[in-house]
């Protein structure tokens, strides 16, 4: 199924219509089966596509995950590429323990885990603070 934003030639506005495919849309439109829901004219055309902005909804799984992650990272310090060495230094007692997050390669994460240093992958990628506006 495919959804198109359609526009009535008489200015009623845009509306959404579902089709099996874009060829299905073409043939239905040629057969005048696609009609404006407001004035029933078959004189409709595809509306200019607007970028679909995700709706701000706290209900979406991704939004919930993002909220969860920012809650997790609230008290955590960004250490960037120094994550592995920071985690190791804290584990060996060279550094005071604190919550940190940063970048680590799969190899680094594996080697930390092998040494019994608890690391957990974050559900979502975190942009370095320098890249956040």
Q: Should residue 39 be labelled a site residue for Zn ion when binding is judged by CB under 5 A?
A: yes
Q: Should residue 44 be labelled a site residue for Zn ion when binding is judged by CB under 5 A?
A: no
Report the alpha-carbon distance of residue 26 to residue 51 in Å, rounded: 22
- Six-digit token string for 70: 């920012």
Q: How far apart are the first and last CA of the chain?
A: 38
- Six-digit token string for 31: 């057969």
Under rule CB under 5 A, which residues in 6-25 are in contact with Zn ion? 8, 10, 12
In the complex, what is the shortest distance from the CB of residue 5 to Zn ion, in angstroms, rounded to a whole number?
14
In the complex, what is the shortest distance from the CB of residue 26 to Zn ion, in angstroms, rounded to a whole number?
20
What values do phi and psi take at 7, rounded to 5? Answer: -130, 130
Count of residues of this chain found to bind Zn ion when the rule CB under 5 A is applied: 6
Of 6, 36, 84, 100, the residue at the interface with Zn ion (CB under 5 A) is 36
Helices 106-114 and 83-91 sit at what angle, rounded to 10 degrees?
10
Interface contacts to Zn ion, rule CB under 5 A: 8, 10, 12, 36, 38-39
């Amino acid at each position: 199924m495919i959804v198109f934003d359609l526009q009535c030639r008489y200015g009623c506005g845009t509306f959404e219509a579902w089709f099996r495919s874009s060829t299905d849309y073409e043939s239905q439109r040629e057969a005048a089966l696609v009609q404006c829901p407001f004035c029933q004219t078959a004189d409709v055309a595809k509306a200019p596509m607007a970028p679909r902005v995700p709706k701000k909804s706290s209900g979406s799984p991704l939004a919930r995950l993002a909220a969860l992650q920012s809650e997790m990272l609230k008290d955590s310090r960004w250490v960037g590429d120094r994550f592995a060495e920071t985690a190791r230094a804290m584990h060996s007692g060279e550094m005071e323990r604190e919550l940190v997050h940063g970048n680590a390669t799969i190899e680094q994460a594996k080697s930390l885990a092998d040494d019994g240093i608890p690391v957990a992958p974050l559900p979502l990628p975190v942009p370095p603070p320098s890249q956040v506006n």
